[in-house]
Amino acid sequence: MHNVRKVTEDLYWVGGDDHRLHLFENIHPIPRGVSYNSYLLLDKKTVLFDTVDWSIGRQFIENIQAVLDGRPLDYMVINHMEPDHAAMIEEVMLRYPKVKVISNEKAFYLMNQFGFHIDSSKTQEVKEGDKISFGKHEILFVAAPMVHWPEAMVSFDLTNGVLFSADAFGSFGSLDGKLFNDEVKFDREWLDDARRYYTNIVGKYGPHVQSLLKKAAGIDIKIICPLHGPVWRSDLGYFLEKYDKWSRYEPEEKGVMIVYASMYGNTENAVSVLASKLVEKGMTNVVMYDVSKTHVSQLISETFKYSHVVLASVTYNLGIYPLMHNYLMDMKALNLQKRTFGILENGSWACESGKLMQEFLEGMREMTVLNERVTLASSMNESTDEEMNIFVNSILESMKEKN
């Protein structure tokens, strides 16, 4: 049975949810599933904006058939060639052999690489600033390179202000019938997944997102139709502001995120003491994450959120605990910057983790590492309690400085 939603009087959401996939890109857990959004415009000509992942292909075809209701499909716009959106290109072409594919040079190149060999008579190449009228609706094509792949572009309907934003403004999470942002409690139920999606999928490309936001500022956007997650038809400024902050690597909140690696509970005990001392001194925005129990995508997302991060690691094989090291590697790969770090190290002999974590952070952009450090020899004692007090004060002082 088809399952569609009307976006505007002549635009339909024809995507679907995938609740069965455990790992997005085979790496990021998605316990709430994910939606693959595709949109079908019924103008004088019919136009499909992007396709979906193969996993929901049958639903997608039923949706298209129901909305077309016997009309032919004239055009298919491909804004992004990643297979979670482009996998159904060939299937659509088989079912609608007269459809013409509109995309850019890089996307057509990738189509070939992925094995979609489309006859040149059925392609129409567009570039930045090109416009095509499909009847009442005129669509402007805007390049959005590296948001999140090099070929990515967005399409803007000049007639009614609908932006087909590709991966930008997307989120993990299945829609479950609630297509629009005003049909969900976004801040409470979706923001964490939206942040985890942005930071892990697009986070590396902040400057490219900034350049897209600058282009977007010049057009009168009324509705944002992303390829994942809710469609935005109200309060656009809320989400645009989040994107602006994330892509400038500015923290959303002043607070302390404590990430710890503890083998037998002694480092965990120390960071619990640290958390209590911070809260007692008035810094109540403190969160603690065990690297061994928290997926790195969640750690990354939270690191984008908080201003201060305490890394607490045992020494393992004379190095940083492997999962802590993995988190640091991911942080570096995603280009995270502008955070203040405190370091707590532990080692029963040859304690090395603090020095190594500091060196790692110094190899990243605009990271501040506090001079004060806590060094444990196996577990906390009276003398390290005093070190901890000094450490707490230095964190709180640095928070004042950032006011």
Residues that bind ligand FEO (CB under 6 A): 80, 82, 84-85, 148-149, 167, 227-228
Residue (143 or 259) nearer to ligand FEO, CB: 143
CB of 85 to ligand FEO, least distance (A): 6
CB of 148 to ligand FEO, least distance (A): 4
Residue nearest to ligand FEO (CB): 82
Residue (228 or 339) nearer to ligand FEO, CB: 228
Residue (80 or 373) nearer to ligand FEO, CB: 80
Residue (52 or 283) nearer to ligand FEO, CB: 52
Is it true that the peptide bond before 85 is cis, omega within 30 degrees of 0?
no
For residue 350, the one-letter residue type is A
CB of 139 to ligand FEO, least distance (A): 21
Residue (87 or 356) nearer to ligand FEO, CB: 87
Measured CA distances, 1 to 19, 58, 61, 65, 351 (Å): 17, 10, 10, 11, 62
Lookup: tokens for 382: 């009276």
The span from the CA of 140 to the CA of 88, in Å, is: 24
Residues of the chain by 3-state class (helix, strand, coil), percent to 5: 40, 25, 35
Residue (168 or 311) nearer to ligand FEO, CB: 168
Name the DSSP letter for residue 120.
G
CB of 167 to ligand FEO, least distance (A): 4
CB of 24 to ligand FEO, least distance (A): 8
Torsion of CA 100, 9, 36, 248, to 10 degrees: 100
What number of other Cβ atoms are within 10 A of residue 102's Cβ? 24
Cβ 46 vs Cβ 69: under 8 Å? no
- Backbone φ, ψ for residue 268 (5° rounding): -65, -40
CB of 195 to ligand FEO, least distance (A): 16
